[in-house]
Amino acid sequence: MNILLIGPPGSGKGTQANLLCQKYGLINMSIGDMLRNEVQGKTSIGLKVESCMKDGKLVSDAIVIEIIKENLARKDICKGFVLDGFPRNKDQASELEAILKKLKREINLILVFDVDELELKRRLINRIYCKSCKATSSKEDSLVDFNKKNKIKCRSCGSESGFFSRSDDNHHAISERLKQDKILSNFVKEFYNKKYPEKTFYIDASKHPSSVNLEVESAVFSISNLKKN
């Protein structure tokens, strides 16, 4: 099963992608993670996109498509993948169709995450990550516990290595990212609504992750029955 997640930064796509991959044995393909790995590894691509990402600007289509092509051709994608953060515009959506056609693959399910902009800003400015397992959490209501020595501990993996915030999770970059996403995402939604209306499901992602996951699983169930018929 190949699943596409569409939604703005902070809508919880990463959390649901992890849950889907764990349950169904899918490969998690987050374009954001791929780009950050390039930056951390100081690769030629990473050096090109680092300043762009810090300012909350979108990376060029050519670079993103190059990374997607390489990853979709991986041999370990036997059960399928969850693609998070791509496509971001209509041209990328068309390019993805061409790439998948060459690989004789198809998108089976499109999940569109909807969240109010004020809620997105609140989530993003408070977002933190475990240094050990990279679990996403929040400064407000997080996967953080305190041990007997009052040391911060990740509730997800138990690590005491601490937490970090992304460099682009600041007020300026967040506003810029949401502004660009709002403009471009409408074209992507329109593209998939017209091309695959029976595969496209809208998710109320303003709810608690467990409630969101129930909607996601309901969509997976619906598409599984559609494939059987």
List of residues 6+ apart from 49 with CB closer than 8 A: 35, 38, 39, 59, 63
Task: Report the SS3 class of residue 10.
Answer: coil
Q: Who wins on pLDDT, 192 or 46?
A: 192
Q: Which among 142, 148, 157 is positioned nearest to 209, based on CA atoms?
A: 142
Whether residue 54 contacts residue 173, with contact meaning beta carbons closer than 8 Å, is answered with yes
Q: Give per-residue pLDDT as tens, 171-212.
A: 888 888 888 888 788 889 999 999 999 999 999 999 999 999
pLDDT, position 56: 67
Alpha helices in the chain (DSSP H): 13-24, 31-40, 44-54, 61-72, 90-102, 117-125, 171-195, 209-228
pLDDT, position 226: 63
CATH number 3.90.600.10 given to 2-115+169-228: no
Rounded Cα distance, 191 and 113, in Å = 16
Lowest mean pLDDT among 5-14, 31-40, 150-159, 194-203: 150-159
3-state secondary structure 92-154: HHHHHHHHHHHCCCCCCEEEEEECCHHHHHHHHHCEEEECCCCCEEECCCCCEEECCCCCEEE
pLDDT, position 229: 55
Whether residue 71 contacts residue 34, with contact meaning beta carbons closer than 8 Å, is answered with yes
Neighbours of 103 (CB within 10 A): 12
Domain ranges of the chain: 2-115+169-228, 119-166
Q: Give per-residue pLDDT as tens, 97-154.
A: 999 999 999 999 999 999 999 999 999 998 888 888 877 777 775 455 544 444 677 7
Ramachandran sector of residue 213 (left: φ over 0; alpha: ψ -120 to 50; beta: rest): alpha
| Region 76-80 average pLDDT | 87
Q: Give per-residue pLDDT as tens, 64-74.
A: 898 899 889 98
Whether residue 130 contacts residue 157, with contact meaning beta carbons closer than 8 Å, is answered with yes
pLDDT, position 105: 93
Share of the chain above pLDDT 70, in %: 93
Q: Who wins on pLDDT, 164 or 81?
A: 81
Residue 194 C-alpha from the chain's centroid: 22
Active site residues: 13, 88, 127, 166, 177
Rounded Cα distance, 41 and 49, in Å = 12
